Amino acid sequence: MPLVKLYNKLSPFQRVITALVLGISTGIFVGEPAGNLEVLGDIYIRLLQMTVLPYVLVSIIGGLGRLDSTMASRIGLRAVKVILIMWLAVMLTLLLLPLAYPNWQTAGFFSTSMIAEPAAFNFVNLYIPSNIFASLSETIVPAVVLFSLLMGVALIQVKNKETFLTLTTNIGDSLMKVASYVSKLAPLGIFAISAAAAGTLAVEELGRLQVFLWVYIIAAGLLAFVLLPLLIHWSTPFTYREVMSTAGEAVITAVATGTVLVVLPMIIERSKALLAKHNMDCEETDSTVDVLVPTAYSFPSAGSLLGLGFILFSAWYVGSPLGFDDYISFVVMGALTAFGKMAIAVPFLLNFFDLPADQFQLYLLGSVVTARFATGLAALNGFVVTLLVASAVLKKLKWHGLMQAIAVHLAITFGVMLATGFALKSLIPYKYEGVKTFESMKPMNISAGIEQYNELSPLSYVEQQKPRMDVILARKSIRIGYYDASLPYAFRNKDNQMVGFDVELLNQLAKDLNINLSLIRIEDKNDEAELLVDGSIDIIIGGHAITPLRALKVAFSDSYTYHTAGVLVNDAKRDDFSDLYTMKSMKNLKLGVGTSKYYQSMVKAQFPNAELTQITNIRQFLKGKHEGVDAIIYSTEAGSAWAMLYPNFSAVIPKGLKLRAPVAFVLPKSQLDYVQYMNTWLKLKKENGFQQRVYDYWILGENPKAKKPRWSVMKDVLGWL
């Protein structure tokens, strides 16, 4: 009973805060089992969502329908002016964020997103409803808002509309009642959501993003506690404290649920209450609130715009910061693309500014944290925009106060970002770990037996007449040849153990056949056909591309992966190789190429004015032995691995370059049974998913075994199961 009395004494905001703190504490204490509470959070979110779109529909239609055309246009003009000013303030804030980024060296594995087409931003589907009922069922809010706006504007000119307006008012009031009933469950729902999130979030995965996360959180704090409330405090009759306390419950609920949509009725109700407190409630301001809250939700907010700061972070992260001339493009394109979802806007902008597409994976990882701050900011943004426009409608908005608040905010942000940069550089120890990470890679599975095979020894004449598979099975070992510089297909790790994509595949082949592996390095590629035929070598590995002339001398297995053509270039020059047009327009372009005449001719056809230099040893190029060569045309999969060892280089796929080379094992000619068996085995391993797992590990750098159970107080401190 004492707890019930204490609970009843708490305000709704205090209850929400208490539930949030208890939920986070429970998640930290329990750990992963707290994820089972997610179903309660989903139920709460769905209950909140069920009234939102119907309420948006009737509130906008009814709110506009009650106005005359003069008042409607007056609200619209003031709303556009306020929103544009706020957009500009937030985008200028983003331009100051790079002041906090230290200078770090980075590189990573190949990513399939490097070759993925960026998601298209479909403005028409998002904002133009062909079927309003489909838009309602699919929760396409901007389309619903546009329909409601057009319906409301049309209703202004309709006669005898009082009955319909009364109906919209009654429906809206009923929906608000339902929403208020559901909001009483807020403490329980927020407890479940925060406990599940805190219990399942893998904090260690966010380590490489800590600079972005710290800067993002600080910037979000500046927007939430400086810019947005100051805009209200200095330009309207409302005080800083009033805005923050009134908006608090909606902001916390939005943060906990991860969506602003569910708190729109709450924002409308609280905004009207605050207007009434200052004797500013009237038909005009009521209509302003009813129309503007759901409409503003459909436009970019401070929360969504802040997410675009990842583009500036990504440019810094890859060592290619945006130049001053790029800032105007960033401000304009950023605001336009923010009309869609960040999952579409970020890949589009990465592509627009020629940044690696795989950086989007980092964004998704960080969004586990940033998305919550974005929704909280968006909820507060809804309050601020609504109150500013309502004040402007009553001619109580001080426009010069808006500008002063923005100027003070930018000055504070400038100083805070400089201080943050100094603090991050001093407090966060950073050391490039790419070389260690790559060279420390171990086999995925237990290795088959390894036999010493130090020198080439041909098969006897009698053995050469037998099928090669019979010889391999009788000998109980397969002789594997490899060339130097075959990353990431065949190389020696720091323990001098032979590892790699191809080695992993053949290790499984040996285990399937119950035989051993015999590995030997081949010095001269010209000898490979003879070594395969006389049995000195049974198979050659190392990520070999199939070529027509080579296929005349040796047999190839079926392709089991591909090389994606790209360029390996010094970080300082990467911008010059962002697309084919830029490369072709370069004067005195000098490109390195491999030894294959087949692929050399393709490069020459693509870059007829370039001077080509044949490079036989990639490591020599990376060490600067080919000073005149600007970049080398190379496999992006292999180039990404080399860039981890030499992080001052980057593997880049120029926009417009679409070339893939099939990769296969090199086998002896005239051993069709052997070749057929290898093809059958490769098909089997593809169908059971083994090939994909090996690819994910050695090419993409994904290691499922590295994921450890989530730390928790209950398990790791108290030792409870």
Q: Is the pLDDT of residue 327 over 60?
A: yes
Give the H or E element holding residue 332.
helix 324-337
Q: Is the pLDDT of residue 340 over 70?
A: no
* Cβ-contact 471, 535 below 8 angstroms: yes
Share of the chain above pLDDT 90, in %: 36
pLDDT tens profile 399-434: 999 999 999 999 999 999 999 988 888 887 777 777
- Rounded mean pLDDT of 504-523? 94
Q: Is the pLDDT of residue 553 over 80?
A: yes
Number of C-beta neighbours around residue 469 at 10 A? 18
pLDDT tens profile 186-235: 788 888 888 887 787 666 555 557 888 899 999 999 999 999 999 999 99
Q: Residue 457 CA to chain centroid, in angstroms?
A: 52
pLDDT tens profile 560-570: 999 999 999 98
Distant-in-sequence, close-in-space partners of 506: CB < 8 Å, separation ≥ 6? 478, 480, 517, 539, 541
User: For 236-239, which contacts have Cβ atoms below 8 Å and span 24 or more sequence positions?
Assistant: 236/387, 236/388, 236/391, 236/396, 236/397, 236/398, 237/278, 237/280, 237/391, 237/396, 238/274, 238/278, 238/387, 238/391
Q: What is the pLDDT of residue 714?
A: 84
HEC readout, 471-515? HHHHHCEEEEEECCCECCCEEECCCCCEECHHHHHHHHHHHHHCC
Q: Is the pLDDT of residue 355 over 60?
A: yes
* Cβ-contact 525, 483 below 8 angstroms: yes
Confidence class for position 358, pLDDT limits 50, 70, 90 = low
pLDDT tens profile 645-673: 998 898 988 888 888 999 999 999 989 99
Confidence class for position 525, pLDDT limits 50, 70, 90 = confident
* Cβ-contact 152, 141 below 8 angstroms: no
Q: What is the pLDDT of residue 655?
A: 82
- Indicate the range of 49-53, 566-570, 583-587 predicted with least confidence: 49-53
Which residue type, as a one-letter code, is found at position 367? S
How far apart CA 666 and CA 538 sit, in angstroms, is 9
Q: Is the pLDDT of residue 576 over 90?
A: no
CA of 696: how far to CAs of 356, 637, 645, 706, in Å? 19, 12, 19, 13
How far apart CA 290 and CA 345 sit, in angstroms, is 29
Q: Residue 124 CA to chain centroid, in angstroms?
A: 24
Q: What's the pTM value of the predicted model, to 2 decimals?
A: 0.72
Confidence class for position 681, pLDDT limits 50, 70, 90 = very high
Domains of the chain, first to last: 11-427 (1.10.3860.10), 438-559+669-706 (3.40.190.10), 562-662 (3.40.190.10)
Which residue type, as a one-letter code, is found at position 599? Y
- Rounded mean pLDDT of 498-511? 96
In DSSP terms, 634 is beta-bridged to 566
Q: What is the pLDDT of residue 119?
A: 55
DSSP 8-state symbol, 668 = -
State the residue for tokens 């370069």.
586
**Of 596, 500, 505, which is closest to residue 548 (Cα–Cα)?**
596
Q: Ranked by mean pLDDT, which of 163-177, 440-454, 668-682 comes out on top?
A: 668-682
How far apart CA 424 and CA 101 sit, in angstroms, is 8
Q: What is the pLDDT of residue 319?
A: 65
DSSP 8-state symbol, 710 = P
pLDDT tens profile 687-702: 999 999 999 999 998 8
The helix/strand/coil state of 541 is: strand
Considering only residues 480 and 107, tell me which one the structure prediction assigns the higher pLDDT. 480
Q: What is the pLDDT of residue 343?
A: 63
pLDDT tens profile 260-317: 877 888 888 888 989 999 999 888 888 888 877 877 776 778 888 898 888 888 888 7
Tokens of 627: 């000073």
- For 564-607, the DSSP string reads EEEEEEEGGGGGGGSBHHHHHT-TT-EEEE-S-HHHHHHHHHH-
Q: What is the pLDDT of residue 116?
A: 66
Tell me what the pLDDT averaged over the chain comes to: 85
Q: What is the pLDDT of residue 669?
A: 92
How far apart CA 58 and CA 171 sit, in angstroms, is 7
In DSSP terms, 655 is beta-bridged to 579
Q: What is the pLDDT of residue 634?
A: 94
**Of 55, 100, 40, which is closest to residue 418 (Cα–Cα)?**
100
- Rounded mean pLDDT of 41-66? 80
Q: What is the pLDDT of residue 688?
A: 95
- Rounded mean pLDDT of 323-341? 72
pLDDT tens profile 127-146: 788 888 888 887 777 788 78
- Rounded mean pLDDT of 117-130? 70
Give the H or E element holding residue 535.
none
Q: Is the pLDDT of residue 337 over 90?
A: no
* 79: alpha, beta or left? (left if phi > 0; alpha if psi -120 to 50): alpha
* Cβ-contact 667, 557 below 8 angstroms: yes
CA of 329: how far to CAs of 85, 322, 325, 626, in Å? 18, 10, 8, 36
On the question of a cis peptide bond just before residue 662, with omega within 30 degrees of 0, the verdict is: no
E strands in 588-687: 590-593, 611-614, 631-635, 649-652, 660-667
The pairing of strands 450-451 and 516-521 is: parallel
Considering only residues 284 and 705, tell me which one the structure prediction assigns the higher pLDDT. 284
Q: Let me know how long the chain is.
A: 721
Tokens of 368: 């586990």
Q: What is the pLDDT of residue 491?
A: 94
Distant-in-sequence, close-in-space partners of 18: CB < 8 Å, separation ≥ 6? 10, 187
**Of 662, 459, 397, which is closest to residue 546 (Cα–Cα)?**
662
Q: What is the pLDDT of residue 205?
A: 53
State the residue for tokens 């550089």.
425
**Of 245, 227, 216, 268, which is closest to residue 373 (Cα–Cα)?**
216
Would you call 429 exposed, middle or buried from its count of C-beta atoms within 10 A (0-12, 13-18, 19+)? exposed
CA of 310: how far to CAs of 359, 371, 413, 584, 674, in Å? 9, 12, 17, 30, 52
Share of the chain above pLDDT 70, in %: 92
How far apart CA 290 and CA 329 sit, in angstroms, is 34
- Indicate the range of 20-34, 180-194, 271-285, 540-554 predicted with least confidence: 180-194
How far apart CA 569 and CA 602 sit, in angstroms, is 19
Q: What is the pLDDT of residue 696?
A: 94
How far apart CA 44 and CA 257 sit, in angstroms, is 9
- Rounded mean pLDDT of 593-622? 91
Q: What is the pLDDT of residue 298?
A: 66
Number of C-beta neighbours around residue 368 at 10 A? 17
How far apart CA 620 and CA 594 sit, in angstroms, is 13
DSSP 8-state symbol, 452 = -
- Rounded mean pLDDT of 362-386? 81
Which residue type, as a one-letter code, is found at position 591? L
Distant-in-sequence, close-in-space partners of 73: CB < 8 Å, separation ≥ 6? none
